[in-house]
Amino acid sequence: MPRLVDGVEEFLSPVIGQGPARRLILAYCAKYNKQFQDINQSDLGKLGVFLSENLRIFVRAKRAEFISEKLKGQRPESSG
């Protein structure tokens, strides 16, 4: 069964790199006391905000928010 977290990682990898994508999710899990594989649809909003906060040092805030909005649209099927 495809996991949402794999789809999220696959979405983020071309944008920020594979290593940073995984570390971002792990840091999110540590912050909200979650298991990596338990990331679900309800986490995408907070994960998007978390991504935006970290991405805005590299690109302007509006662009970071746009990418975080796209992240919220991820579905488990997108992991392929």
| Candidates 1-9, 19-27, 36-44, 72-80; binding stretch for another protein (CB under 8 A) | 19-27
Residue 45 as a binder of another protein (CB under 8 A): the answer is no
Q: How far is the CB of 6 from another protein (least distance, A)?
A: 18
Q: Toward another protein, which CB reaches closer, 2 or 17?
A: 17
Which residue type sits at 67?
I
CA distance 60 to 80: 31
Residue 33 as a binder of another protein (CB under 8 A): the answer is no
